[in-house]
Structure formats: C-alpha cells, structure tokens
Structure 1
Amino acid sequence: MASTTTHPEFNDQTSALEVAKAFASGITGKTIIITGVNKNGIGFSTAEAFASQSPAHLILAGRNPSKIQECIEALKSSYPTVNYRPLNLDLSSQKSVRTAASELLYWSDIPTIDILINSAGVMNIPSRTLSEDGIELHFATNHIGHFLFTNLIMPKLIASATAAAAAGTKGATRVINVSSLSPTFASMRWSDVNFDKVNKTLPEAEQPNYDVHRQWGTVSPEDASYLPLEGYNQSKVANILFGIGLNSRVFEKHGILSVGLHPGIMQTELSRSTSKETIEAVGALFASGMFKFRSLDQGAATSLVAALDGGLRAGEGGGEGSGRENWGAYLVDCQINDRANPLAVSSAEAERLWGLSEELVGEKFAW
C-alpha cells in the first residue's frame, strides 16, 4: 500500500497557515526546530505557521544571530506564548554544526525534538568554492551540514519517537528536508562531487541535463566543470536521498519518518548570488509561463504537510504501476509527486550517499 495524503484538496495555492490549522494537534505542545530562518525566506513563514498553533518550543537555527533575533521578535509580536530559542548554526562548517548540536543536546529543559525542518540552503554560488572542510559549498551546506546535524541530535528525536510510539502515533516524529525541483531532472555526480572534471568527460549518467543549463543562460555547459546550478542540483538530490537513507535506519526501528519536498518558487534571498545572465534567462522562462512565483506562506505549506500529515509513511514499492521506489519520499504542491528522476529516489543511491556522507564527516552513525 502506497503512502497518501489526507487532504487531496491541498495544492500550490494552499497556505502554510491553512495546513497548520488542519493539523493543529500535531503542533500544540511539540518541540520544533527549523534551520535557515530569516524574515525574507520560507524558514520564517514555516516558523510562523507552526507558531500559530502553540508549540511548546520553537527553535530557530541560523548562522546570523541578529537575523534570528529579528525573527523571534516578529513571531513574539503575533504569538507571545510560544517559547522561542535561537541556535547559532553555520551548516557550511562541520565544527559549527557539532557545536550547535552539543548545545542543543545540553538543554535539559528540551528533552525531545518532535519535528526537524532542514530548510536552510545556498544557491547559485558564482564560482566553485570549497568549504573549510574541503567540500563544494552547496553540497557542504545544503546536505552535509544537515546530515551531520540531524544525526548528532538523533538522541532527542529518538526520545520523541519513543513517546509517540507509546501513544500509538508511530511516524509523528519527523525529519523534513526542503529540496527543490532538481530531483526531477538531476542526479548525483559520484565521480566528481567537488566539480574538478569537465562535464562531458563524466560517465553519461552523471552528466548534467544540458538543456536545463542552456535555458538558464549557460553557453556550452558541456565544456565547463563547475556550473552554479549543478552544484545546487546535486545538493538538492542529496536532500531527498538522505531522507530515504534515514528512513531505512530509523522508521521501522524507532518510528522516525523523513520526507523531502519541493516548496515551489518564491522571491527570497536564496537567489542573491545569481549571475545577471542567469537572472535574465530565468526571467524569460517566467515570462513564457513555464514557472510562476508563489507567496512565502504558500511556499511553506508543503513543508507543513510533510511534517504533519498522518497519511504519509515510509516504504518501498511505489503506487500501482508507478515503477518507483520510496513512494512518498518527495512532495510537490502539498501532494506526493512521482516525477522524480528514478536515481533521485533510489534506495541504492541513498545507501551510496550515506556512505559518502559518513566519510566526509569522519563518523559513522547507527541507530
């Protein structure tokens, strides 16, 4: 039996606040952490929707303390009874991630984490850049940082899941990975995760979708090594594969469910590094009607569905005739989506990524 959602009427126009109200019992009294929260992004809209239904604790994590505080003050003005907690977290730095996780584990007044929304991200970094740990910056920030942080705070997620299972709500404890449309046309670049090699020299299955890059204003993408969009694409595919790998380890054993999603396209600070050529090319795609913007509140809605909908579950086999593994691993417009590239939702690819990720953080995780 495949996963399903309980509100088939939810769509690209649904607001996060609507979803929060529909699943209020899954929020009230819970502890929720969101990474990447600033006033002009979906992290804040996600936090706002959760805050509306009286969680016990709302932990806002980010690399800029003043921006986090700005968000907390804004949320307090609307929802003053929630306990807000800032957490300094720079996902591009494994040292920072370990420090943040240690701090969170030390908070004795917050013994459990019920929902983790891995929402932070960087996009279209103009030139190939390595993190302080020697990892391409999109991959380091969008995937490796979240992989490490999630695993390091696992004891508090397991504590929540144990209580949920005792109450008969297995799967209520969740790890949500905010991805993008990238999994519908991209896959992992296994032989060259740091973008050292010319694209056309890679194995065919690892070469970028050149048509997409041309649409985004890149001339001769075959002859390039690093493409800003491709750095982003790889990290966003990794978001989905990470959730699949996590489910295989913690869903049956502990009752923790991980779901990935595309939030839609919003006008946020995510595109601040995008080149003029790409902005012009993408503008033409919007003008043609290929893409359309949605509001930040609508952009946060699918994250809320992923975090709260009781109809979602972990499993393989796909829907009837789908030919897909890990049905329900990827949501778009508040519903399960089957348009992902098979390599972006493959259990074998997920296991390969888990091994690579452990290698890059120098630690193995077994739950």
Structure 2
Amino acid sequence: MTSTTYPEFDGATEGKEVARVFAEGIRGKTILITGVNRAGIGFTTAEAFASQSPAHLIIAGRTESKLKESIDALRTQFPGVDYRPLKLDLSSQHAVREASAKALSWSDIPTIDIIVNSAGIMLVPERTLSEDGIEMHFATNHIGHFLFTCLLMPKLIKASRSNPAGATRIVNVSSLSPTMTKQMRWSDMNFEKINGELPKEEQPMYDIHRAWGATGDLEAISYLPLEGYNQSKVANVLFGIAANKKLYEKYGILSLAVHPGVIETELVRHMTQETQKAVQEMRENGSYPFITAGAGAATSTVAALDPSLGVPEMRNGKENYGAYLIACQISDRANPGAVSSDEAEKLWRLSEELVREKFSL
C-alpha cells in the first residue's frame, strides 16, 4: 500500500533533510534535474541531491551562463560530484531533441536513475504559441518534458535493470493547479474559443481566477494566464499516471507528481499588479503560506527517493491515490479529472500527436 516513510515531514521540511535520510537512494546514482538556476527550486533540489554524493548530476536549463553559475555554486559546496550542464529549451521540440541527443551521447553516463522535471513558466500575460504552434505553458511545462523524458527512456530503462522496482523514478513538479481546475481543455487546447462556449466541465473555475485578480466577464474571453498554467500543471500529473501504466510493470520505473509549495522565485515575474495584490492578500490571510526555497525542494526529493511510495492505487473512492504529493505527503486534494487514468491515456495520445512520434515503451 503506497504511503510515505516519514509522516512527520511537512511543508517546512527542507530538501537536504529529506536527502540525508534517503541518502542510500542517491549515492552513486545519476540524477537529472531540469530548470536549474540560482533563483529557483531547481537549484535547491540540485543542492539536496548533491549533498549526498551522486555519481553524476545533470543540470539542465535554458541559459548556459545560469547553468555555469549554478554548477560553480554547487561545486563549491559539494566538490566530489560530477556535474554535467545540459542546455535545454523546453518550449522548442527541436531544442529538446538536440538536448536529449546530447545526453544520450554521453558514453560515460550510461544510465539515468532519477529525472526531476522541475522547469516551468507561469502566467504568460498574453496568449502565446510556441514555435511548434502549441500554447506556451502547455508546450513548455508539459510537452517539452514529455518529449525529453520519453527520448531519454533508453537510459532510464537501462538504470531500471540494476535498480529495485520503483527506485528508477520520474518526478514531475506540478503545483496546486490540480485542485483548481476540473478537467483538461480538450476541445480548445490553444485557447482559441470563448470560455463560455466550452463544455461546462472544461470551463475554468471562475471564482478561483477572480480570487487571483482576474476581472471582467471571464466567460466572454478565451485566455486566462492562470488557466494556461493550470492546464499544463494538471498535465504534469496525468503524464505520470500514464507513464506508470506503461513503465512500472514492465521496467519498475515509477512516476509521481508534486506540488512543491509556494515559494518566491522568478516564476512569478509575469504577474500583473492585480494578481500580485491578490496573492499578497491570500498570503496575509494564510490561504497560501510561503515556504523557503530549501523547503520547496523537499516534496520532489520525497517523491524521488522514499522507498515506501509505490504505484498509485484506488483508495476510498479516490483514483490514483499516491500519484500526487503536497507538503511531503500523499494528497487526495486533486480534482478527479486531474488524476483520472482515462484522462491520462488521452493526454498521452495527444502528446504523441503533438510531438509527431509514438513511443513504444
């Protein structure tokens, strides 16, 4: 039965503390983390893993200068680790394919034991399409990670052959979005239709958007920045659920998703003044307690390492219980559409269509 080893871990637990108690799952392993820069939780996640002597730590991000800055800082603290920078622009499928080909070419790193898909963008103010014609949140936060992870699967599968079942893992860093949206926007993934014209189950949860500072007739517009983000972050959870169906029984590869907590990072750089004000009010009234960047790494680290976690299951009428963690513990707060096996399989098929490749896993 899937559970966590340490029920006392919570939103204040630091990533390094988690890494310390699960150190055996790190030592000598190869770990890849996306979205690493000094100002984000990708960096504190890398710190947590680096603190317990992995063999290789692959640090992926969009900017070479920020990758160098991160690796220099990590090497100062933990010099005994082999750090490998990997330039990765998740918004571009071409760039993702180049990055994955480079990682696959490293003969001295034949396996990857853990991938933490931590990179993301949030609240792009205007509807924007990627170079591949996909809404930018969805393209970057989900499709980029989907393609990157699937292309790296040969090294994950090779790692799984020498690891216990469930020790080779894919962790997708989601958010609270699975609690704030009902279902994927299947009939309008690029936000071309007016919200009020969508099927009821696909329409945004308008009260949540108003609480985040949205104004006006929300049913009469197509694009809401928070909904773009929410859709992509629900996809992070569904991706893991579909991956488990394809990978666990055959290879013992486990995939989980997490809400890392609310942390002040560059992720919110696109926030409007109205949203900033609304979030500050929610912070003051305790709706969204902020945590440290170190604590923001903890839930991902639990998901990557805790040996008590297993394949999500049905419990108390909740489908895929164990697929989604909040504050270092399994959460059942996700809306049913965000943890549905049928929705997950539908997303996998759509994702393959959007990257124009089928993956025989």
Q: TM-score range by the shorter chain?
A: over 0.9
Gaps of 5+ in 2: none
Equivalent residue number for residue 357 of structure 1: 351
Cα-Cα RMSD: 0.7
Q: TM-score, normalised by structure 1?
A: 0.97
State how 1:330-341 maps to structure 2 within 5 Å. 330-341=324-335
Equivalent residue number for residue 197 of structure 1: 193
Q: TM-score, normalised by structure 2?
A: 0.99
Distance in 2 (alpha carbons) for counterparts of 1:212 and 1:336? 23
Partner letter of residue 178 of structure 2?
P
Distance in 1 (alpha carbons) for counterparts of 2:67 and 2:218? 38
Question: After superposition, what is the alpha-carbon deviation per residue over 1:145-202, rounded to whole angstroms, capped at 9, x for unaligned?
Answer: 00000000000000000111xxxx2110000000000001212100000000110110
Q: Alignment partner of 1:141: what SS?
A: helix
Equivalent residue number for residue 310 of structure 1: 307
Partner letter of residue 336 of structure 1?
I
Equivalent residue number for residue 177 of structure 2: 182
Range moving further from structure 2, 277-286 or 154-163: 277-286
Partner letter of residue 221 of structure 1?
L
Distance in 1 (alpha carbons) for counterparts of 2:232 and 2:69? 28
State how 1:1-367 maps to structure 2 within 5 Å. 2-164=1-163, 169-186=164-181, 187-219=183-215, 220-318=217-315, 322-367=316-361
Distance apart, 1:284 and its partner CA: 1.3
Q: Alignment partner of 1:296: what SS?
A: coil
Q: Alignment partner of 1:44: what SS?
A: helix
Distance in 2 (alpha carbons) for counterparts of 1:231 and 1:315? 26
Distance in 1 (alpha carbons) for counterparts of 2:180 and 2:279? 17
Distance in 1 (alpha carbons) for counterparts of 2:284 and 2:21? 35
- Show structure 1 runs of 4+ deviating over 6 A: none
Distance apart, 1:112 and its partner CA: 0.2
Distance in 2 (alpha carbons) for counterparts of 1:221 and 1:55? 48
Distance apart, 1:286 and its partner CA: 1.2
Distance in 2 (alpha carbons) for counterparts of 1:54 and 1:315? 29
Q: Alignment partner of 2:76: what SS?
A: helix
Distance in 2 (alpha carbons) for counterparts of 1:281 and 1:339? 22
Distance in 2 (alpha carbons) for counterparts of 1:317 and 1:136? 32
Q: Alignment partner of 1:85: what SS?
A: strand
Question: After superposition, what is the alpha-carbon deviation per residue over 1:74-123, rounded to whole angstroms, capped at 9, x for unaligned?
Answer: 00100001000000100000000000000000000000000000000000
Partner letter of residue 25 of structure 2?
G
Distance in 2 (alpha carbons) for counterparts of 1:57 and 1:221? 48
Question: Number of paired residues?
Answer: 359
Partner letter of residue 193 of structure 2?
K
Distance in 1 (alpha carbons) for counterparts of 2:89 and 2:158? 25
Distance apart, 1:26 and its partner CA: 0.2
What is the percent sequence identity of the aligned residues? 63
Gaps of 5+ in 1: none
Distance apart, 1:274 and its partner CA: 1.1
Question: After superposition, what is the alpha-carbon deviation per residue over 1:39-97, rounded to whole angstroms, capped at 9, x for unaligned?
Answer: 01000000000000000000000110100100000001000010000001000000000
Distance in 2 (alpha carbons) for counterparts of 1:19 and 1:286? 26
Distance apart, 1:136 and its partner CA: 0.2
Partner letter of residue 211 of structure 1?
D
Q: Alignment partner of 1:120: what SS?
A: coil
Distance apart, 1:283 and its partner CA: 1.2
Distance apart, 1:316 and its partner CA: 2.6
Distance in 2 (alpha carbons) for counterparts of 1:291 and 1:184? 13
Distance in 2 (alpha carbons) for counterparts of 1:162 and 1:325? 29
Range moving further from structure 2, 129-138 or 276-285: 276-285
Distance apart, 1:312 and its partner CA: 0.7
Partner letter of residue 90 of structure 2?
L
Partner letter of residue 193 of structure 1?
M
Partner letter of residue 234 of structure 1?
Q
